[in-house]
Structure 1
Amino acid sequence: MGFKLENTNIDALVKPDDLKIKKRTSILERELVFFGKSFSNKKKEDFYTELSVLLKAGITLKESLKLIEEGQKKEQQKSLFKDLGDSLLSGNSFSDAIKSRSEFSEYEYYSLKIGEESGTLTIITNELGLFFSKKNEQQRSLVNALTYPAIILITAVLVVIFMLRLVVPMFQDIFEQNNVDLPWITKFIVAISDFIKDYGWWMVLIIISVLLLRKVLFGSDWFKRKIDYILIKIPYLGNFLKAVYLAQFTRAISLLTASKVPVLNSIELAGKMISFYPLQDALEVVKSKILQGESLSNSLKGNKVFSKKMISMVKVAEETNQTEFMFERLNQQYSIEVQQKSKLLSTLLEPMIILVVGICVGVILVAMYLPMFKLGSVLG
């Protein structure tokens, strides 16, 4: 679904001073909502979908916001929509009303402003609802893929810690009482056991502190950049994350190119919705190349974030003037890839975790039983 903006001056609409990237939110808060947000992507999906339905039914924007406000259960949500309604009553446009709210991104602001200028606000809100729907679907796929392996991993770690903290010291006492000469592997396991005994609670406190201070840590750009670049280098997981964010990117570009927004502005606005540093940095390079006169397909070359298949399809789209269609197809392909990879990720992680834990437990048992043979000869 597209909408036209032939009569809209995009250059005047998207001013350079307005294109400042806001501070990004935590990687866990922005893509995987483990810790919750006041206005999460799921709430945005419901909001834009409901708003689109009400506007399509002929209800005015002010009345629509009032109805949505009345349907909220939490006071925080009621206050948000009440403030938006009051801003409209004060004479502000809808896009200006959300611009001052931290709950909304610049991507949403410019999309809604384009809709107001072109008289296609109903279509825009529907497209935004679909955008967040796809985004939430990808998040659910990732969460579903990681939940069960995470439970297994936590359980396995607790089992290994139990053995190191309680079982190994019992064998250690027996060996010390009988002056048994320990092999190197047993000494290594005993050293780990002593470390956990001496510093175990400190490690627990550090983990709790990190969880409590996560907003401070992820509020730092350098820390988030490091985390993002570490994640993308992890085998399989890195490719999976690239597919997730490229699916969001292609969806955003498809919506904006259908609106006749210039390529440079489309990339700039889409970048504000993708809070993943490897892709953001890549888009900055793409923008600089486009400003130098390069085509979009040539600008995508030379960056590992973009696949050769994507570059080839973009080149075909430029030659045939079917950019909107091609990005829609790319979005479908990446969405399917995310679903397939999430299922495979879940399938692979479980046996891998079990295998690693089995090896750890086996090493501990072997390390403890090797000196028992020497102990038998000493007692004999």
Structure 2
Amino acid sequence: MPVYEYRVRDRSGKILKSQMEAETASQVRDALRAKSLFIVEIKPPKTGLNAEVKIPGLSDRPPNLKQVAVFSKQLATLINAGVPLVQSLAILQRQIENKAFQTIIRSIRADVEGGLPLSEALVKHPRVFNRLYINLVRAGETSGTLDSILERIAAFQEKELGLRGKIKSALTYPVVVLVFAIGITYFLLTTIVPQFAGILAQLNAPLPLITRLLMAVSDFLKNSGLFILAGIAALVFAYRWYYRTPQGRHVIDDIKLRLPVFGPLLKKSAVSSFARTFGLLISSGVNIIESLEITKGTANNAIVEDTIENAKNVVMVGEPMSASLATSRVFPPMVVSMVAIGEETGALDSMLYKIGDFYDREVDEAVASLTAAIEPLMIVFLGAIVGTIVAGMFLPMFSIIGQLSK
């Protein structure tokens, strides 16, 4: 639908600039007059060479969590400063550089102008605003504290970004080194080893076991490259298909939590995310059953989701949630004890915040120690691969030189 830019003057004489989607300019004019606005100018939509260029996959890319966090913080600041909601959305719409996000904010603003609450307007964009976001905004509208709720959401999203960044930093180094090791190994086996093999074949030298194995692997890689790629693609497809099934998701997520090195880190991040999300919902006025249901939807792990679901069922029959968490291997005894104290004292939200802060620090320490431990291990691993290939190629040469020197 075409987008018309316009300038109008309100009843106080202030000039306002904005945009509107409409089929014709007359529809824009009628809509503005219905709001008792004096029209100064309506610009026709841009066409031809003046039209905005949209690159598929780039211009229409949905906003990421950081962009949504910035939007939440700016909207909270504008509302807290006394700017009306519709005008705040119009200001942010002009400032946002992501065109897809700009279109979403334009749609939200139009819905709010039409009389919808902000939370109901956000429901139409589930890819950007999840159930957690929408329910918190709804709670803020009900209690009249939308600005403070939006500030809490922004702070929560910033912590979520920080947690994700820590996990990525812990995983990036070993993945990069592993890819580098595979690349070097493939190059040596398909380029250098065949040249040595040709020389050794001409010399009719006796070959040790390690050399014969390397030559066999080299021949396989050179002659079966397409089969290897097809096998990798099939494994990736099978993994994704299996993970989409309920049983496969439970099995794979359980394995992730049981991994010897990364499992404890994933558990700590899961506890931190649970505590911060659940605490934010309760402190914002969302009832405990709905809070647990929303928190379960943000867990991203089937085992953690089952644990939260069990806790919700226990609360629904009037039992304390801590009793259910105690039966799970995800939540440590310390967390269970702190939740129990929060339930008894009526300060569950503040206790959850303390748990979240504690496990944020635990994740920091786990990432630092993991990075420090993995770095020398990866160097040794890479050196062992290269050393094995070099030894396998030069051992026969040493044998030949020894025979010639006799």
> TM-score higher than 0.5 here?
yes
What percent identity do the matched residue pairs reach?
Answer: 28
Counterpart of 2:377 in structure 1: which amino acid?
M
Give a deviation string over 1:217-267, Cα, whole Å, max 9, x none. Answer: 699355655553333222221111222232121111111222343332221
**Aligned twin of 1:4:** none
* RMSD after superposition: 2.8
**Aligned twin of 2:183:** 158
Deviation at 1:347, TM superposition (A): 1.9
**Aligned twin of 1:299:** 324
**Aligned twin of 2:350:** 325
Which sits farther off after the overlay, 47-56 or 242-251?
A: 242-251
**Aligned twin of 1:360:** 385
Matched, 1:237 2:262: yes
**Aligned twin of 2:33:** none
- Point out which structure has higher relative CO (alpha carbons under 8 A, 6+ apart): 1
**Aligned twin of 1:370:** 395
Matched, 1:178 2:210: no
CA contact 1:286–1:299 (8 Å) conserved in 2: yes
Runs of 5+ consecutive residues of structure 1 not aligned to the other structure: 1-35
**Aligned twin of 2:75:** 51
Deviation at 1:157, TM superposition (A): 2.3
Larger Rg computed on CA atoms: 2
Q: How many pairs align?
A: 344
Secondary structure (helix, strand or coil) at the match of 2:335 reads helix
**Aligned twin of 1:348:** 373
Give a deviation string over 1:44-64, Cα, whole Å, max 9, x none. Answer: 110111111111111111111
**Aligned twin of 1:266:** 291
Runs of 5+ consecutive residues of structure 2 not aligned to the other structure: 1-59
Matched, 1:311 2:336: yes
Deviation at 1:84, TM superposition (A): 0.3
**Structure-2 change in CA distance of 1:112 and 1:299 (3 Å):** same
C-alpha distance in 2, partners of 1:37/1:117?
Answer: 33
Matched, 1:126 2:151: yes
Counterpart of 1:302 in structure 2: which amino acid?
T
Q: In structure 1, which of residues 58, 76, 83 is the aligned counterpart of residue 100 of structure 2?
A: 76
C-alpha distance in 2, partners of 1:199/1:304?
Answer: 44
**Aligned twin of 1:11:** none
Matched, 1:98 2:122: yes
Higher strand share: 2
C-alpha distance in 1, partners of 2:98/2:362?
Answer: 37
**Structure-2 change in CA distance of 1:37 and 1:148 (3 Å):** farther
CA contact 1:41–1:132 (8 Å) conserved in 2: yes
**Aligned twin of 2:62:** 38
Counterpart of 1:344 in structure 2: which amino acid?
S
State the TM-score, normalized to the length of structure 1.
0.81
Which sits farther off after the overlay, 109-118 or 277-286?
A: 277-286
Q: How does 1:220-231 map onto structure 2 within 5 Å?
A: 220=244, 227-231=252-256
Matched, 1:63 2:52: no
C-alpha distance in 2, partners of 1:74/1:322?
Answer: 41
C-alpha distance in 1, partners of 2:346/2:377?
Answer: 46
Give a deviation string over 1:130-187, Cα, whole Å, max 9, x none. Answer: 1101001112223333444443333222222211111221222233333444333222
Counterpart of 1:324 in structure 2: which amino acid?
D
C-alpha distance in 2, partners of 1:206/1:56?
Answer: 57
Deviation at 1:335, TM superposition (A): 0.9
